[in-house]
Amino acid sequence: MKSFNPPIRTLMGPGPSDVHHRILSAMARPTIGHLDPAFVSMMNETKEGLKAIFQTENELTMPVSAPGSAGMETCFTNLVEPGDKVVVCINGVFGMRMKENITRFGGEAIVVEDEWGSAVSTDKVEQALKDNKDAKILAFVHAETSTGARSDAQSLCKIAHDNGCITIVDAVTSLAGCELRVDEWEIDAIYSGTQKCLSAMPGISPVSFNERALNKLKNRKTPVTSWFLDLNLVMGYWGDDAQRTYHHTAPVNTLYGLHEALVMILEEGLENSWARHQKNHELLRDGLEAMGISFLVDKENRLPQLNSVFIPKGVDDVQVRSTLLNDYNLEIGAGLGAYAGKVWRIGLMGHACRKENIALCLSALKDTLK
């Protein structure tokens, strides 16, 4: 074997996004013990930083030591008990995964379906909750990365509470890329990921639970199915005043990376980060539309950080994407499900969301299509 030296790419797909060199160099700093007082104080700062970007005061706000999918599983394994009815909204790939989680943990999934590319319909959710008075949880994806559609998280949470449900929200792609206010919108349990708009390395999933979610957890009649993701145990390590006790060995250097990512977002300002994503999305949109390329998602539900666009007629999807990768070191994403071969997903996430990348993407695409 020889050392691995990856090619230098520009990552404009659905994740991972470009990792800033400040984050990469933070990760190269010396490894220390995961119970070292210096590490513990970095953990505390990390929790505070996560609270700031989630816009929450939730005590239970921490990074799960595994990727976004594990954050999803953390929410479902802790909150869904066997027999619980859960209304789950499916308008793309990640809603389907939520449903899979519900049934695997013994819950009964009531599915509210919307077309891929649409936002979740608040009317349909309201009806489903009226039809299922015994439902306990509403689960939905805020930013559907498989299509680029944004759903109205604030309204969906209000409808859920009016009908006696708590909410589980997927914010893997939305966190730091568009408006997200956990406390103001009364989101009960939320998970995200480090590899999208935080621009950090893949592999960590920030989660946050409010009192309502914690109550559901505390009043469980059955133990949490997963040992690793059981927050009762994890909080012995990440909890506040508790003597830190060993649960698992935290990914020490990866957490240096997350810490640096949070420092960078707070330096920029969270709202400035949201605004940068929007402004650059408009720049990319104008350029693509000038080339005659159109968007999958309606303007009002469109995410700035994930742009699904129709592949022009007669153009070979795979050939274009491999030319972009091989000749321009530029990665864009393929379509999923029914949109495989029909759309490209162009990410503008975190550090990748910059003017020079848009210029590269537009000119490389123009040349390649010619």
Rule CB under 6 A: which residues touch ligand PLP?
A: 15, 67-69, 72, 94, 141, 145, 170, 172-173, 193, 195, 202
One-character DSSP codes across 130-165: HH-TT--EEEEESEETTTTEE--HHHHHHHHHHTT-
* Shortest Cβ 114–ligand PLP spacing (Å): 15
**Residue (of 216, 221, 108) closest to 165 by Cα position:** 216
* Shortest Cβ 65–ligand PLP spacing (Å): 12
In the bound state with ligand PLP, the residue whose beta carbon lies nearer, of 101 and 280, is 101
In the bound state with ligand PLP, the residue whose beta carbon lies nearer, of 149 and 157, is 149
The one-character DSSP state at 291 is T
Q: How many CA atoms lie within 13 A of 339 on its CB side?
A: 24
The helix (H) or strand (E) run that includes residue 325 is helix 317-328
Closest residue to ligand PLP: CB criterion: 68
* Shortest Cβ 306–ligand PLP spacing (Å): 8
* Shortest Cβ 168–ligand PLP spacing (Å): 12
Compute CA distances 41 → 37, 88, 257, whole Å: 6, 38, 15
* Shortest Cβ 94–ligand PLP spacing (Å): 4
* Shortest Cβ 100–ligand PLP spacing (Å): 12
In the bound state with ligand PLP, the residue whose beta carbon lies nearer, of 152 and 362, is 152
The helix (H) or strand (E) run that includes residue 238 is helix 231-238
* Shortest Cβ 232–ligand PLP spacing (Å): 23
The one-character DSSP state at 105 is T
* Shortest Cβ 229–ligand PLP spacing (Å): 13
Residues in Cβ contact with 18 at an 8 Å cutoff, skipping those fewer than 6 apart = 10, 11, 199, 350, 351, 352, 357
In the bound state with ligand PLP, the residue whose beta carbon lies nearer, of 191 and 237, is 191
Q: Is 335 helix (H, G, I), strand (E, B) or coil?
A: coil
* Shortest Cβ 95–ligand PLP spacing (Å): 9
In the bound state with ligand PLP, the residue whose beta carbon lies nearer, of 91 and 121, is 91
The one-character DSSP state at 80 is P
Residues in Cβ contact with 293 at an 8 Å cutoff, skipping those fewer than 6 apart = 309, 310, 312
Provide the pairing of β-strand 306-310 with 205-209.
unpaired
In the bound state with ligand PLP, the residue whose beta carbon lies nearer, of 39 and 208, is 208
Spatial strand order of the sheet with 330-334 comes to: 10-12, 330-334, 343-347, 306-310
Q: How far apart are CA 370 and CA 368, in angstroms?
A: 5
Please, what is the angle between helix 270-290 and helix 252-268, to 10°? 80
Residue with tokens 């400035």: 272
In the bound state with ligand PLP, the residue whose beta carbon lies nearer, of 67 and 304, is 67
In the bound state with ligand PLP, the residue whose beta carbon lies nearer, of 102 and 364, is 102
In the bound state with ligand PLP, the residue whose beta carbon lies nearer, of 68 and 251, is 68
